[in-house]
Amino acid sequence: MMNSLLGTEVDVVLETPKHLFIGEVKHESTFGADGKLVLVHQLMRQYVTATILLQLSGENKAVIPFVVGDRVEYLKKTSQVRFMTNQGWLKETNVLDWEQVK
């Protein structure tokens, strides 16, 4: 499984005393998925990587994933976002468009 995490990149990382916000930014591109990996979906790899790093560092922070893109309704329908929200790892309110971030 560790091979699934190698090369995982996160577009935006914001840290507060109690939270680690990890963001995926989409603009005219789709989510990555690699069928050769155990964790095939990009968002899951990012979430798992951040969670492991916090545990290894002894930091007691919550991982808060978010996604920013051009079309929120499209993003919410993708399998990665649906899976993350169904697991309770990603709040639907954290799927944002560029106007909300502005």
- Residues 3-57 have pLDDT tens digits of 655 666 778 889 999 999 998 887 555 555 555 544 456 788 889 889 988 999 9
- DSSP at 101: H
| pLDDT one-digit tens code per residue, 74-102 | 899 988 899 899 999 999 999 999 888 88
Instruction: Give the C-alpha distances (Å, rounded to integers) separating 66 from 71, 76, 92.
Output: 14, 11, 9
Give how far Cα 53 sits from Cα of 16, 20, 50, 62, 72, Å: 15, 11, 5, 12, 29
| End-to-end CA separation in angstroms for the chain | 37
**pLDDT in the model for residue 46:** 87
pTM for the predicted model, two decimal places: 0.79
